Amino acid sequence: MTDPQEHLTQNSTQSTSQNTSQGPAHAVQAQPFDYLIVGAGFAGSVLAERLAASGQRVLVVDRRPHIGGNAYDCYDDAGVLIHPYGPHIFHTNSADVFDYLSQFTEWRPYQHRVKASVDGQLVPMPINLDTVNELYGLNLTSFELEDFFASVAEPVEQVRTSEDVVVSRVGRDLYQKFFRGYTRKQWGLDPSELDASVTARVPTRTNRDDRYFADVYQAMPLHGYTRMFQNMLSSPNIKVMLNTDYREVVDLIPWRHMIYTGPVDAFFDHCYGPLPYRSLEFRHETHGADFLLPVGTVNYPNDYAYTRVSEFKHITGQRHHQTSVVYEFPRAEGDPYYPVPRPENAELYKRYEALAQARTDVTFVGRLATYRYYNMDQVVAQALNTFKKLMSQSQG
Ligand SMILES: Cc1cc2nc3c(=O)[nH]c(=O)nc-3n(C[C@H](O)[C@H](O)[C@H](O)COP(=O)(O)OP(=O)(O)OC[C@H]3O[C@@H](n4cnc5c(N)ncnc54)[C@H](O)[C@@H]3O)c2cc1C
């Protein structure tokens, strides 16, 4: 992979020692940072950009060796643009979010398509007319599919869990073929133990639309996410310090207000116990073929230990004589990726949220800091709203 250090912005603070040695430390102490931002992912970078544009001096600290958080992309050894933390597809219905990000990147239109490997066939996912016809050897029309779903759906009095959502919509057989195994692998929990919101994210269609997302805006940053983040962080008012846990510098470098985008439970030393997160292990492979998969992602709900395989060239549009894919193996331990949506976890989060709200010197933003199963666009929207609140507080 390319050297992650090359993604340091030109303003980067290269090491902690620079700030603690006599000369630079003196200069820093003379003019404290207005904001210390923990995390250079979407939440941290959007806020850094907005604050810097309004004249604030910002220090962004990330413990990883690169900017971009989980959306970071880079070229692998073969020269294929990959997403080390799994495939990231940008999609949103928000014109505000899309317009905001468009200041930092051009776009390549891209509609993600997914197939699921079920009963030895690769069929469209989300379930649509072709999925049902191919799977059961039928020739239904859209109208007939509505009747089909109605005949197999199992009425549920109150839809509470992820199982309820699917079974009440498409019945038990499709639930078992497409959702039960996948969810168990992904979350280590049965769908009956997870909030309805998890499977409610995946629609069911009676037409032949085989796009994974139906949002108004669906596109990939033309030159990749990392380039977009570099542009966002390019203001002279922003310094970026990588390979640094904020705890290493929090007492060394003067700042007025902190924006924290890491895991909220870690910030409070897990005082109420750890919030459950789901992790992933990624297996990246490069093959000497033009393409391996028919579409961007193939899901394996019922076979293998991995949940899905994704092929980056479909997603990025890159032309290359080789191709790189990533397999995702869900794990209980490891880097926190997904907050686990369950009522008891929401309760535990509320206790941390109360602590967070009491901290007037720190603002908590982003997927891990607010324990929300947010997509990139939702994190951008949350960060833009947070910026507005910070501005109105400072003016009020
Ligand atoms: C496998 C996977 C696939 C996804 N696919 C999509 C997709 O297709 N489309 C979509 O819209 N969304 C997708 N997402 C969600 C997307 O990744 C998130 O919404 C988004 O990246 C969250 O941004 P963030 O800034 O809140 O958090 P992050 O990107 O996690 O950034 C937080 C940063 O804080 C840093 N940090 C944490 N603690 C500390 C500390 N103590 N000191 C210093 N730094 C610290 C971390 O190193 C990290 O870089 C996916 C997520 C995963 C895991």
pLDDT tens-digit readout, 151-178: 999 999 999 999 999 999 999 999 999 9
pLDDT computed for residue 7 by the predictor: 38
Which among 74, 220, 365, 376 is the best mutation to test ligand 1's pocket, defined by most ligand atoms within 8 Å of the CB?
A: 376
270 CA distance to ligand 1 middle (Å): 20
Residues 69 and 120 placed together within one structural domain of the fold: no
Which among 37, 38, 70 is the best mutation to test ligand 1's pocket, defined by most ligand atoms within 8 Å of the CB?
A: 70
208 CA distance to ligand 1 middle (Å): 33
Mean pLDDT for the stretch of residues 54-63: 98
In a domain, 131, yes or no: yes
Q: Indicate the pLDDT class of residue 202, thresholds 50, 70 and 90.
A: confident
Residues 147 and 190 placed together within one structural domain of the fold: yes
CA 246 to ligand 1: nearest atom: 42
Q: Where are the beta strands (DSSP E) in the chain?
A: 33-38, 58-61, 74-75, 81-82, 91-92, 107-109, 114-118, 121-125, 217-221, 238-241, 255-260, 277-287, 297-299, 308-311, 323-331, 338-339, 362-364
Residues 247 and 354 placed together within one structural domain of the fold: yes
The pTM is what? 0.92
Q: Indicate the pLDDT class of residue 337, thresholds 50, 70 and 90.
A: very high
Number of structural domains (the chain) is 2
In a domain, 47, yes or no: yes
Residues 195 and 58 placed together within one structural domain of the fold: no
Residue nearest to atom 41 of ligand 1 (CA): 245
pLDDT computed for residue 8 by the predictor: 38
pLDDT computed for residue 88 by the predictor: 98
Q: Indicate the pLDDT class of residue 30, thresholds 50, 70 and 90.
A: low
Strand order in the sheet with 58-61: 238-241, 58-61, 33-38, 255-260, 362-364
Residues 100 and 150 placed together within one structural domain of the fold: no
CB-based burial, 228-256: b 16+ in 10 Å, e otherwise: bbbbbbebebbbbbbbbebeebeeebebe
115 CA distance to ligand 1 middle (Å): 25
CA 88 to ligand 1: nearest atom: 8
55 CA distance to ligand 1 middle (Å): 26
Residues 104 and 148 placed together within one structural domain of the fold: no
Question: Within a 10 A sphere around the Cβ of 281, how many other Cβ atoms?
Answer: 14
Q: Indicate the pLDDT class of residue 6, thresholds 50, 70 and 90.
A: very low
89 CA distance to ligand 1 middle (Å): 13
In a domain, 61, yes or no: yes
- For residue 351, what is the domain's CATH number? 3.40.50.720
In this predicted structure, the answer to whether residue 245 has a pLDDT above a threshold of 50 is yes
**Domain residues for 183?**
114-200
